[in-house]
Amino acid sequence: MESGEEALLLARRQKLESMRERGKNPFANAVDTSDRKLVAELRAGFAPALLDAAELRYDAERVTTLAGGRSFHVFGRLVARRGFGKASFFRLRDRSGELQLFAKQDVMGTAFAALEDVDLADHVEARGRAMVTKTGELSLELSELRVLSKAMRPLPDKWHGMTDADLRYRHRYVDFVATPEAAAVIRARGVIVQGLRDFLDGEGFLEVETPTLGTLVGGATARPFTTHHNALDLPLFLRVAPELYLKRLLVGGFERVYEIGRCYRNEGISTRHNPEFTLLEFYQAYATYDTLMHTTEALFRYVDEFLTTTLEELGFGTLVKRWHAERPFTLAEPFARVPMRTSVERSLERASLGSEVLDRLEALAFDNKTKAAAHADADGWVAIWRTRSERANRVDWPNLRRALAACGSAGERLFVAYEYLVEPFLAEDYRNADGTKSVPVFIIDYPFEVSPLARKKDADPTLVDRFELFVDGRELCNAFSELNDPADQEARFRHQVELKNKGNAETMDYDADYILALEHGMPPAAGFGLGVDRLAMALTCQPSIRDVIAFPLMRPEE
């Protein structure tokens, strides 16, 4: 006995064969779009007849007058249908919107028989006159409807769409049709990229492209993907960041450059991590990390306004308003700027903990080599600290201690303390004036040990001129004043190699050619990196990075 799905597939195959037997091509390619109208163009033409813009109700007489007896030609996918007798209503969707089609047997005559070929999800072309239904809806009363591409499978249920998350990500092409907001998010992502380019082009930056295959790992501390070039018999890495090539361009005299490109890091998958992702990096000669903090605030506000304006023009105004209302953060107020050590001290104070935690970081470290007595002492301290406040009890002490065990310097320990004592609480600690939303936070002045490409601070060489930007607790940007001293850079590369030899997979290689480039003179400069996927998540209120990637990586189906 056939299942419901099998029966539907069989019925559509039979329609397809019937069309072919009648000399109709179910996958036609001979189409004339010279007089095509997009749905948005039609609506714009009949805008003077609008009675209610929110409900899209039109005045029938005014539409008839504006139409002037013309016939209109549209293309798109059928996403809804009601009525199967002598009159049928269809809903057609193209890239600009949706429009109702009205088919009547006494109007279409013999052409009405073509409706027997039609199923939901088919791509069609249609011609007809503009009219308004009794409910005030702008429609085309059809004179002709032709199937251009037959859909062999039906769409998901209209009311429930695709509810299985795995299926949604695995079959995104269906999700985009069945879930209009999912498609709107991808459209928004494209607009965000346009906005980034528009801002940087306006600031005199040149967009460039740099290699995605290399013989060395550089530009970020991350585990790479490996591949092999057969003709050269050469092992290669997929890039983790374009940084070192972009800075070579600074050496070459290009003072402002940027790249928006794919990067690859062989790391875990989470709501904020995907193995391949889009990174914006830009570099500006004769600038500092302080310069880039001002630029970053301007960039974020520009892109947000660009997104809002563009989507409203495309007819997504209601969705954009909802996103703005749902955002737990605001870009309207000045971003906070907090040195890393200060952020740790403030966080300890808010948790009713004192400097004794910072004083005992090294002693807190715990792994399977830790002596039992030392372990017991640290357990006792943590037990006491947990009782100091509700917030102190929320700290992930076990993982903080394990991370401390991998540290080899005071700077690395400070960074770990920040990750566990501060970062989880950023959104609740830094609020706007009325306390209703969080504000973005620049965490500045990182230890040099965790910043192998950043310039040391003149006033304190244990720190570097670096910031990371966190929006609602999520890291979106990393930037710093660039290290352009070849001797200092060489020493940092050698330290990375030492860490790699000790088993740390997330390190850089020694790049002799980059040292050579610095020896030819790189101007003082500042560089910036932004996770485009995470920015799209923030501006469109998406909970997972997979929601803003058209085709996220999935394990193959069994």
Instruction: Please name the fold of domain 160-328+472-558.
Output: BirA Bifunctional Protein; domain 2 (3.30.930)
pLDDT for 372: 65
Q: Give the whole-angstrom CA distance, residue 285 versus residue 523.
A: 6
How high is the mean pLDDT of the chain?
A: 93
pLDDT at 162: 63
Helix, strand, coil % in the chain, rounded to nearest 5: 40, 25, 35
Six-digit token string for 12: 């559509």
| Opening angle at CA 25, ends 20 and 30, nearest 5 | 165
Q: Which residue has the tokens 């709501």?
A: 271
Answer for the pair 449, 504: CB distance below 8 angstroms, yes or no: no
Fold for the domain defined by 4-155: OB fold (Dihydrolipoamide Acetyltransferase, E2P) (2.40.50)
Q: Which residues contact 75 (CB under 8 A, 6 or more apart)?
A: 31, 33, 36, 94, 123, 124, 125, 126, 148
CA distances from 317 to 114, 184, 313 (A): 37, 11, 8
Residues 6+ apart with CB under 8 A from 492: 452, 453, 483
Whether the Cβ atoms of residue 42 and residue 130 lie closer than 8 Å to each other = yes
Reading the block at residue 93, the tokens are: 């969707």
Enumerate residues 6+ apart whose C-beta is below 8 A from 414: 340, 341, 344, 358, 361, 447
Q: Are 289 and 453 in contact (CB under 8 A)?
A: no
In whole angstroms, give the CA distance from residue 443 to residue 214.
31
- Looking at residue 430, the DSSP 8-state letter turns out to be S
Residue position matching structure tokens 């005014």: 62
Sequence spans of domains, the chain: 4-155, 160-328+472-558, 337-463
What backbone torsions phi and psi does residue 528 show, to the nearest 5 degrees? -140, 140
- Residue-level pLDDT at 395: 97
Rounded to whole angstroms, the Cα distance separating 357 from 21 reads 81
CB of 538 closer than 8 Å to CB of 271: no
What single letter denotes the amino acid at residue 81? R
Query: What per-residue confidence (pLDDT) applies to 159?
Result: 44
Check residue 1 and give its pLDDT: 43
| pLDDT per residue as tens, the chain (558 positions) | 456 778 889 999 999 999 999 999 999 988 999 999 999 999 999 999 999 988 899 999 999 999 999 999 999 999 999 987 889 999 999 999 999 999 999 999 999 988 988 999 999 999 999 999 999 999 999 999 999 999 999 888 654 556 678 888 999 999 999 889 999 999 999 999 999 999 999 999 999 999 999 999 998 888 999 999 999 999 999 999 999 999 999 999 999 999 999 999 998 888 888 999 999 999 999 999 999 999 999 999 999 999 999 999 888 999 999 999 999 999 999 999 999 999 999 999 999 998 999 999 999 998 777 666 667 888 999 999 999 999 999 999 999 999 999 999 999 999 999 999 999 999 999 999 999 999 999 999 999 999 988 999 999 999 999 999 999 999 999 999 999 999 999 999 999 999 889 888 888 999 999 999 999 999 999 999 999 999 999 999 999 999 999 999 888 887
